[in-house]
Amino acid sequence: MRVGTKLIARSLAGAALLLGLAGLAVMTPGLAASEGGTLTIPLDPPPPPPPMPGVAGPAGAPLVVIDAGHGGYDLGAKAATGEQEKDLTLAVARSVRDALARHGRVRVALTRSDDRFLALRERYEMARKLGASLFLSIHADSAGDDQEAHGATLYTLSEVASDAEAAALANRENKADIVRGVNLSGRPEAVTSILIDLAQRESLENAAAFTDQIHREAQSVLPFRRDFHRKAALVVLKAPDVPSVLLETGYITNDADRGLLSSQDGRARVGAAVARAIEIHFARRFAQR
């Protein structure tokens, strides 16, 4: 819907139902507004965008954004023993942040540092706006009544999904998107598509390399599934110019996995291993330049 316009959504018994920015109005033909022909129901204004997170670490160092999955009224998975995914993901994300902050080699930010809801797009857009070089979303899996399912999994965006996202970005009307610091506004369609495609492919390659690094560094602490690297059309991974990985740290429905994530010592060991993988990943990337 374009700003400043009203659209007729449907007709009900001769009355037109109109939806505008100010609210919902029902207008009866032949009855003037002054005669009570319009009933306006105010709508709540859209919520303001979430505040940008603070960044810790030395100036000029590469930036990783750690995303604690779920939050607020979005509880995520829940264990029979009461643990909620949104709490475990935040605790693990803080452990990774704390380990990185102690080492002081990279900059780090959390999409949320408390129990709040964030839309999926808001999460990766934070990484884009901050100019992050890496985005890691942390989750915990669930298998319902199957308590035997266990192990961590790493997800990157499928090529089919990345192609669709690149096409959608190329076709957006405002073309004000900035990819890798390049403003796409006013550029020819062919050039826009090429720039987005190059950024997307580079991001996918870096994300795949990062999954291998996490597996190498964390497998002694965090048991992984045999098929530990999967690809999926997950919304939170769709930033076209930020390498993005989703880490399922294990199954909240499995006693061993849940025990590791629920203990302070277990989270500290997982956080240290993931932090080490992030630092090595950045060191290798910048050494290749």
Overall pTM > 0.85: no
Inter-residue contact 71 to 111 (CB < 8 Å): no
% of residues, the chain, pLDDT over 90:
55
193 pLDDT tier (thresholds 50, 70, 90): low
Structural domains of the chain ordered from first start: 7-42 (no CATH), 63-287 (3.40.630.40)
pLDDT at 197: 60
pLDDT at 28: 45
Inter-residue contact 134 to 275 (CB < 8 Å): no
% of residues, the chain, pLDDT over 70:
71
Instruction: Name the range with the highest mean pLDDT among 20-29, 41-50, 114-123, 152-161.
Output: 114-123
Distance CA 211, CA 122 (A): 23
pLDDT at 95: 98
Least confident of 84-88, 139-143, 189-193: 189-193
Average pLDDT (205-213) is 95
Least confident of 96-110, 122-136, 224-238, 274-288: 224-238
Average pLDDT (21-31) is 46
Q: Average pLDDT of the chain? A: 79
Average pLDDT (93-104) is 97
CA-nearest of 221, 254, 245, 215 to 136 is 245
Average pLDDT (231-253) is 88
1 pLDDT tier (thresholds 50, 70, 90): very low
Query: 248 exposed, middle or buried (CB, 10 Å; 0-12, 13-18, 19+)?
Result: buried
SS3 assignment, position 227:
strand
